[in-house]
Amino acid sequence: MAAGLFEGQYVWHPAADDRVLASVCVDVRAGRYLSARDALTETRGHFALRAHRSLVLASEAADSDLVERWLTEEPGPEAALLWARVAVLRAVRAADARDPRTEALERIALAACDRAATADPADPTPWVAKLAMARLHRLRDGAPRGLLTAPPGPWRLFAHILSIDPWHREAHHRFLACFFTRYGGSVTAAWDVAAFLGQRAPADSPLRLLPLVALVECYDPTQLLADRVWEQPQWRTTALAIHHHWLPTVTDYPFTPVLDLAYLAHALVMARHEEEARAAFTAMGPYASRMPWSVFGDPAEQLSRARRACGLLVPGA
């Protein structure tokens, strides 16, 4: 659905315009898994789509016994993968809530990831799921050369994933998150890792957005002129380069990369490049993500404010 068809309401569903996935989510909520099996089977070898669909489906299945039933009734690589995703999501939720069951849930999740990796050794997704738990264990591998702060972290696990898929989007974002201050890292480490990962990525890769992700994560509204940071030459240059090199490739994606587009649009608006931001919003259509907008206030209000700055329609207009 193009932005020209915007009907005045944002679509917040993470499936965005992946209509197969949106339909499968309905089945999963109803306790049916056959369509999930088919939707994941058709992603074999397409790691970005497999990561996207399995992550969204896990969020739909985590509060039911659907995956356990599926694994019992029809075991296979897709059942094992979704079980790993669900188990990791439950473990991370428990850890964040300081649930006393956290340790047991982590053991289950690690076993589920190993089972999924064994079921399909060519698939990096189970390893990416395991990487999502790395911040809970504070893995302290030494950093490679090229980083100013040389922050320790889950470098070996990350390197294994890159040996399967060098530019795996979710893996890079999961890895960067390990260095965020809210997960025990530091601002300097987050900057260092984001710059290191972003600079080594191809010019037309969405991974060039990683420094902009770190910029949002490190945002401190109490600092003087905090909202003017995006106007600094280095961030203007970063956002405009992504607009020039990556944005044109979005039309070839199997689903709209809403979150990446949101980070780009936000950076361009904050840098006072409304015309370029308008193009990013147009690529998003009516689809919306809560990040990065929620860092600055109510996500719907912040998104509408940014769209109005670009002369675009907003709900209620």
Q: Report the candidate in 80, 87, 125 with the shortest Cα–Cα distance to residue 106.
A: 87
Residue 101, pLDDT > 90, answer yes
Structure tokens at 5: 């068809």
Name which of 115-119, 165-169, 310-314 the model is least confident about. 310-314
In tens, the pLDDT along 203-245 reads 999 999 999 999 999 999 999 899 999 999 999 999 999 999 9
Question: Residue 25: CB partners within 8 Å, gap ≥ 6?
Answer: 13, 15, 56, 57, 60
In total, the chain counts a number of residues equal to 317
Q: Angle at the Cα of 115 (from 111 to 121), degrees rounded to 5?
A: 135
Q: How confident is the model at residue 6 (pLDDT cuts 50, 70, 90)?
A: low
| Cβ pair 287, 21 in contact under 8 A | no
Mean pLDDT of all residues in 147-159 = 94
Among candidate residues 143, 144, 114, the one with its CA nearest the CA of residue 130: 114
Q: What is the mean pLDDT of residues 4-30?
A: 90
Instruction: Give pLDDT tens digits for 45-57.
Output: 999 999 999 999 9
Mean pLDDT of 162-188: 96
